[in-house]
Amino acid sequence: MKVILFGATGMVGQGVLRECLLDDRVEQVLAVGRTPVGRADPKLTEIVRGDLFDLSEVQDRFTGYDACFYCLGVSSAGMPEAEYRRLTYDLTLAAASTMIKASPAITFVYVSGQGTDSSERGRVRWARVKGATENALRELQPGGYAFRPGVIQPLHGARSKTPLYALIYRIAGPLFPLLRRFAPGVITTTEAMGRAMVAVAEHGYPSPVLENRDINAAAE
């Protein structure tokens, strides 16, 4: 399959890119982002643009792809709600619309988050915005999927670009094996995220929303 990947330089995106490049089922990966991925591979090509809201100039490059893995995201901490919504809801829908116009049969996989509020009426801001994004994507393309990971263990050198998160992951590192053993439903890994996305794009999944347990099951 041919895959488009948004957010390949983020922690989740790094893991997804690694698994796509290792998987024989994936023949080509087109990484789309604001900065270069920083690695070379025969399967990998890139589109680097400062403004990802308008991809019309390069829309023809998205033709003929089978799946889009949207791993681009920002933290809501300290960010005004309007700006968070612009970078989460507006940007995701703009990208998805372009992908679907170029490749109508594409499977769009969106990385959301555990606790996302599909009702869009809860008190937690980020959960409302993520819920609205999931709902809008489902209307735009009913055959897409939302991944809702909780705790994600970074593997194989994947690192968060947010300094605070990177510090938390470094401190919490020794706890990850215990969580995976005794509370597998609350933790997944960057490796599992990538494997699950490829599997879901190829075979589908019974539910359009995948929580941690679903992600881990699909990765197997």
Q: Which domains does the chain have, with CATH numbers?
A: 2-219 (3.40.50.720)
pLDDT digits (tens, 9 = 90+) for 169-214: 676 667 777 766 766 677 899 999 999 999 999 999 999 999 999 9
**Which pLDDT score is estimated for 200?**
98
The string of pLDDT tens digits covering residues 16-75 is 999 999 999 999 999 999 999 999 999 999 999 999 999 999 999 999 999 999 999 988
In the prediction, which pLDDT does 181 show? 72
Q: What is the SS3 assignment for 72? A: coil
pLDDT score at 158:
79
Average pLDDT, the chain: 92
The encoded tokens of residue 163 equal 């300094």
pLDDT value for 172: 66
d(CA 41, CA 3): 14
Give start and end residues of each alpha helix (H) in 49-189: 81-85, 91-102, 125-140, 163-172, 176-182
Best CA proximity match to 94, nearest among 140, 138, 144: 140
Cβ neighbours for 46, distance < 8 A, ≥ 6 positions apart:
30, 31, 32, 33, 36, 37
Distances (CA, A) of 202 to 18, 26, 49, 160, 195: 17, 10, 29, 28, 11
pLDDT for the residue 175: 72
CA dist 44 to 20, 77, 91, Å? 10, 33, 23
Angle at 182 between CA 179 and CA 184, to 5 degrees: 65
- For residue 9, the model assigns a pLDDT of 95
Q: 3-state DSSP call for residue 74? A: coil
pLDDT tens digits, 111-154: 999 999 999 999 999 999 999 999 999 999 999 999 999 888 88
Bridge partners (DSSP) of residue 145 are: 109
- Quick one: pLDDT at residue 187? 86
